[in-house]
Amino acid sequence: MKKIKWILLLGVICFGGYYLVFQTDLLTIKAILYNQSEELDIYELQRYSDIHYGDAYWQVNLQKAREGLLKHPFVKEAVVNRNFPDQVIFNLTYKTHYFNLKYSDIILSLDRNLDVLKVLEDEDNGYTVEGFTFNGFSTGKKIDVGQEYVLANIVDLIELMDRSAFNYYNVIQYEDNNIKIKIGNITVKFGNGENIEMRFNAFVAIYEALLNENITDGVVDVSTDGLPVYRPFGE
């Protein structure tokens, strides 16, 4: 008789536990916390992570939530944790816009790793790179362009330009196998951008010398491994 009572008591406890967990909102998600971004609102967060208000606390799949969030174009990394009894906490690392890539009437926002973040209606902040045709693109993935290494060199060039004290036009062109920038009325040619820091330093040296002579027009060519060349007229 005592054994039967224990079995019945155990059954009641198990049923009560099951009822509390799965049939009431006592252990359901009531708070979803994350470091917010203008590119990811709470509704998108729930859609990509497949975690929603009211989901059973113990049924939340943290790994699936992380994998889903990594498909969002702006999410670089995601850490997902539960906080008993009713919270899910997301710690997200976001990709950030670094430059615009423009071809014809298409403008893309790219991060420093050449991932496409979104299609733009107008150019965003920073530099706009022109002259690359797209083989294809998908938001959240690396841009598919010919001569990707040249585009990577341009990224390094942008960093060097940002660290310098000069004021450049915000358009970087790639044509005839030459990366070109403009500073005032001077055009600078970097070739395909191999050893870009060396070429950039050579440009800085000759540009400062030109300024000392009050020369503000012409072309500075550092596209070869030889000495930089200044041409007062034309390309």
For 165, residues 6+ apart whose C-beta sits below 8 A from its C-beta are none
Closest to 35 (Cα-Cα) out of 111, 101, 110, 89: 89
Same domain, 49 and 105: no
The torsion angle over the Cα atoms of residues 227, 232, 233 and 234, rounded to 10 degrees, is 30
Q: Which candidate, 167, 120, 114, places its Cα nearest to that of 141?
A: 114
> What kind and span of H or E run contains 162?
helix 148-163
Domain end, chosen from 74, 94, 114, is at 94
Q: Are residues 87 and 160 in the same domain?
A: no
Q: Is 22 within the bounds of a domain?
A: no
Going by C-alpha positions, the residue among 44, 95, 48, 89 that lies closest to residue 68 is: 48
Residue in the block written with tokens 């009894």: 85
Strand partners, 119: 108
Residues of the chain short of pLDDT 70, as ranges, are 1-26, 234-235
- Check residue 226 and give its pLDDT: 82
CATH number of the domain at 214, please: 3.40.50
Helix locations, the chain, DSSP H: 2-18, 42-49, 62-69, 148-163, 196-212
Domain membership of residue 7 (yes or no) is no
| Pair of tokens at residue 194 | 């191999």
Same domain (yes/no): 108, 138: yes
Q: Name the domain boundary from 77, 94, 111.
A: 94
Boundaries of domain holding 176 = 99-231
State the Cα angle at 18 between 14 and 19, rounded to 5°: 115
Which of residues 45, 67, 94 is at a domain's end? Answer: 94
Confidence at residue 12, expressed as pLDDT on a 0 to 100 scale = 45
